[in-house]
Amino acid sequence: MLIAAPMAAAAVHTVKSPDGLTAVAVESDAAGKVTYAVTHGGNVMLQPSPLGLYTNIGDFADSMRIVSVDTSSVCRHYTQSRIKHSEATYEARIMRVAMENAAGDTIGVEFSVSAHDVAYRYRLPRVNGGETGAVTVYGEASGFALPAGSTAFVTPQSDAMTGWKRTKPSYEEVYAVDVPVGTPSQYGHGFTLPALFRTSGGGWVLVGETGVDSRYVGSRLSDADSAGVYRIAFPMAEENNGHGSVSAAMSLPAVTPWRTITVGTTLAPIVETTVAWDLVEPLYAPVAEVEPARNVWSWILWQDGSINLADQKAYVDFAAAMGYDNVLVDNWWDTNIGREGIEELVRYAARRGVGVMLWYSSSGWWNDIVQGPVNVMSRSIERKKAMKWMHDIGIKGIKVDFFGGDKQETMRLYEDILCDANEYGIAVIFHGCTMPRGWERMYPNYAGSEAVLASENMIFSQYFADNVEAVHATLHPFIRNSLGSMEYGGTFLNRRLNRGNDGGVQRRTTDAFQLATAVLFQNSVQNFALAPNNLTDAPQEAIDFMKRVPTEWDETRFVDGYPGRYAVVARRSGSRWYIAGVSAIDHPVTLHLDLPMAAKGDRLQVLRDADAAGTLERAELAVRNPADVKIVLQPKGGFIIEK
Ligand code: CA
């Protein structure tokens, strides 16, 4: 369909999802502002919210006039490894709105609306009669106006060039949970994506972005203005030690990344969405497919002192005993083990059916990191030499840490590392980094990102174990881990988080909680925080579970929960379901789960807390009514149901 008739000034242009439930209404007012609003089943999800771009080829946010609207449909089915579902169908209605500014130049805004997801991006043509082929985007007017009385589940953007060796920002801040919309951010820099909102009407709205590559910046949300509108904000000037532009540069014609808005009257669409991957395509073919993997890493419990050949061989033996795929050798291996030592380790591991992954710093001139190797991943010349060496000796993957922020030149570094690593058949994990934005699909050798206050913080401070771990675990399935793989490095079975299991931070969550996170936290390459002593000092049922838990999933379903309190998610691998629950509530709660994957008469295998002290117990759950399966969640406890 093409509607090219001249538009009346105040016309409303509406596009609805194929099922008719989700609707976007685009409107321009007499003052020249163009807005979009989102409803789902008649419930207001976003009130009229601003659109537009500020660029060096013109202002496309003020004095705008809609000149044409056309609509079309898309339906595609795809398979995808390394995310929450192994296949997905994306069926959407598309509306392209052409807008003209006061100078007579046009841009387009393209909406793609599926059952529970709204996405939009801007299209910029060549201008000046086709003469102008480059644009700098200074910023976006793009906003998100939550209904008055809504609440936010958001994580603040940190100051730049602060924290460990001046490596922030790295998406490792503590969430503000269920706070009124408009609550100022902790550091005054707004919030990192994704951001979850509960509307005053009881709806859920998850705001994210996807399709960000070397041709744009990574965005965040501003603090809300006095009208409660959050805006897309570009990187801070101080990131990358103050070096590099905060604007985005593209060649024309161009499209921006997609802004995504997932909506629902329950949390199911939030947990189950594939919008981050529905709208992007692979940017290159994989030289070698990234295999799902279960790894162990000595650094998490044994720390820097374990980066020596003897300790790494002990972890190889441990990985072999678990039937795991790799050991990850963390920082300082270049000086403390050396390349010849790594080659010996790879041979030792290969004889035991275990692979080796290696840590690198991303830096570079953007922080003060001394942990080696440094100055390798930051430059193509050194990077390719290292990757050739790794390829020749059979290294499976790399973990690249401590990136400089979200400026376009850092997005280019992420892409360059991924693309170079692909040439050598190497999988890539990012740490100290930005959140992924469709990268599992765009970069076939991408294997996950940290971008979360991860397991290491439980080692660093009792505060996180006491106050943060359980609450955050109930947030991730609805926020950070909904829109991208999350390399958390968790599942501790040590009660004390040190090498001897006899000192350091005391774990406050139960064994069942820890096991549940192996399912709840999705990343196709998992670096579990298990230690060799767990073979003898952890409950046998826990070790047996960690030997059988998969890391690649065919399907993911929301079961129950409320972000910040508790979360229950079901994931399927082949024909087997794993239903994982965790709680941050300070008293036992009895849940009544609706488990459509179960049937009357089923006897489900359960790992749970026998008591509030967290004694791990294996039990059988006889299903009388699959729509009402009772299970008790203990404080900072959890469970796994298997079918
Ligand atoms: Ca980190």
**What is the distance in A from the centroid of ligand 1 to the CA of 163?**
11
CA nearest neighbour of 542 among 515, 565, 522, 560: 515
**What is the distance in A from the centroid of ligand 1 to the CA of 576?**
32
- For the stretch 84-95, pLDDT in tens is 999 999 999 999
**What is the distance in A from the centroid of ligand 1 to the CA of 624?**
45
**What is the distance in A from the centroid of ligand 1 to the CA of 20?**
43
**What is the distance in A from the centroid of ligand 1 to the CA of 191?**
18
**What is the distance in A from the centroid of ligand 1 to the CA of 455?**
9
- Report the distance separating Cα 261 and Cα 47, nearest Å: 13
- List where CATH 3.20.20.70 sits in the chain: 293-552
Q: Give me the residues paired with residue 249 across strands.
A: 136
Domain 4-278 adopts which CATH fold?
A: Beta-galactosidase; Chain A, domain 5 (2.70.98)
Contact 452, 495 (CB under 8 A): no
**What is the distance in A from the centroid of ligand 1 to the CA of 174?**
13
Residue 288 pLDDT grade (very low, low, confident, very high; cuts 50, 70, 90): confident
Instruction: Check pLDDT > 90 for residue 228.
Output: no
**What is the distance in A from the centroid of ligand 1 to the CA of 283?**
27
Instruction: Check pLDDT > 60 for residue 9.
Output: no
pLDDT at 226: 85
**What is the distance in A from the centroid of ligand 1 to the CA of 482?**
19
pLDDT at 10: 62
The gap from C-alpha 120 to its chain's centroid, in whole angstroms, comes to 19
Could you tell me which CATH number the domain at 293-552 has?
3.20.20.70
Percent of the chain whose predicted confidence (pLDDT) is above 70: 98
**What is the distance in A from the centroid of ligand 1 to the CA of 158?**
14
- Report the distance separating Cα 630 and Cα 643, nearest Å: 15
The beta strands (E) that lie in 385-531 are given as 397-401, 427-430, 446-449, 525-528
Q: What integer is the mean pLDDT of 274-294? A: 95
Q: How far is CA 305 from CA 186, 308, 333, 499, 535, in A?
A: 35, 7, 11, 10, 21
> Model pTM?
0.97
**What is the distance in A from the centroid of ligand 1 to the CA of 450?**
7
Please provide the size of the chain in residues: 643
Q: What integer is the mean pLDDT of 345-366? A: 98
Instruction: Check pLDDT > 70 for residue 104.
Output: yes
**What is the distance in A from the centroid of ligand 1 to the CA of 451?**
7
**What is the distance in A from the centroid of ligand 1 to the CA of 500?**
23
- For the stretch 252-263, pLDDT in tens is 999 999 999 999
- List where CATH 2.60.40.1180 sits in the chain: 560-642
CA nearest neighbour of 275 among 94, 114, 70, 393: 114
Instruction: Check pLDDT > 60 for residue 5.
Output: no
pLDDT at 7: 52
**What is the distance in A from the centroid of ligand 1 to the CA of 401?**
7
Instruction: Check pLDDT > 80 for residue 2.
Output: no
**What is the distance in A from the centroid of ligand 1 to the CA of 521?**
16
C-beta neighbour count of 164 within 10 angstroms: 15
CA nearest neighbour of 52 among 252, 259, 213: 259
- List where CATH 2.70.98.10 sits in the chain: 4-278
- For the stretch 537-560, pLDDT in tens is 999 999 999 999 999 999 999 999
The answer regarding whether domain 560-642 maps to CATH 2.60.40.1180 reads: yes
What's phi and psi for 587, nearest 5 deg? -140, 160
**What is the distance in A from the centroid of ligand 1 to the CA of 404?**
13
**What is the distance in A from the centroid of ligand 1 to the CA of 291?**
23
**What is the distance in A from the centroid of ligand 1 to the CA of 489?**
10
The amino acid present at 516, given as its one-letter code, is A
- Report the distance separating Cα 443 and Cα 17, nearest Å: 29
Q: What integer is the mean pLDDT of 50-67? A: 97
pLDDT at 3: 47
**What is the distance in A from the centroid of ligand 1 to the CA of 184?**
25
Average pLDDT, the chain: 97
- Report the distance separating Cα 211 and Cα 222, nearest Å: 20
CA nearest neighbour of 264 among 200, 339, 202, 214: 202
**What is the distance in A from the centroid of ligand 1 to the CA of 170?**
7
**What is the distance in A from the centroid of ligand 1 to the CA of 463?**
17
**What is the distance in A from the centroid of ligand 1 to the CA of 452?**
8
**What is the distance in A from the centroid of ligand 1 to the CA of 527?**
13
